[in-house]
Structure 1
Amino acid sequence: MFTSRKPSSDEAWEGVVVDRSRGLTDGSNLYRYLTVRLSTGETRKIRVDRGLWDSVAEGDGIVKTAGSEPTKR
């Protein structure tokens, strides 16, 4: 069984990017991931679009509000 890395639309959190990665996890599509340390101390790996992945670096803050996609802080 696979785990979806796409954040749910009703989630709300903020955190700091600790790692960036990408891969062909299904063999045909390139997916981009950020590992984020949330303000609660939890670390999560999330799938993001190319625009956000290109605009952030390790140490940058990102925010996810309910009903929207993650954005750079």
Structure 2
Amino acid sequence: MSEEAWEGVVEKKQRAAFDGANMYRRVVVRLDDGTASKVRVSRELWNDLDVGDRLVKEAGADPRRA
């Protein structure tokens, strides 16, 4: 999904230490086509996001708040 472009709305924020050492931050995004996708985001973006915020991802770039 890193080379894809999409837009959507944050439905849920999640974080977990799956390997016991590193914290992974993900958001569930409802894409404009109606599908849902789990997207890994940086700590800074995760801290800045709220449910209902809009995200934009351009091909080859990291997701950003719209």
Give the TM-score normalised by structure 2: 0.95
Which 5+ residue runs of structure 1 have no aligned equivalent? 1-6
How many Å separate the matches in 2 of 1:27 and 1:39?
34
State the one-letter code of the partner of 1:61: R
Distance (Å, rounded) in 2 between the aligned partners of 1:68 and 1:36? 16
Q: CA RMSD in A?
A: 0.8
Structure 1 segment 30-41 matched on structure 2, within 5 A: 30-41=23-34
Aligned-residue sequence identity (percent) comes to 47
Q: CA deviation at 1:26?
A: 1.3
Q: Number of residue pairs matched?
A: 66
1:30 Cα deviation after fit: 0.5
Q: Which TM-score applies when normalising by structure 1? A: 0.86
SS at 1:25 equivalent: coil
Counterpart of 2:20 (choices 27, 31, 36) is 27
Q: Which runs of 4+ in 1 moved over 2 A?
A: none
Consecutive unaligned residues of structure 2, counting only runs of 5 or more, are none
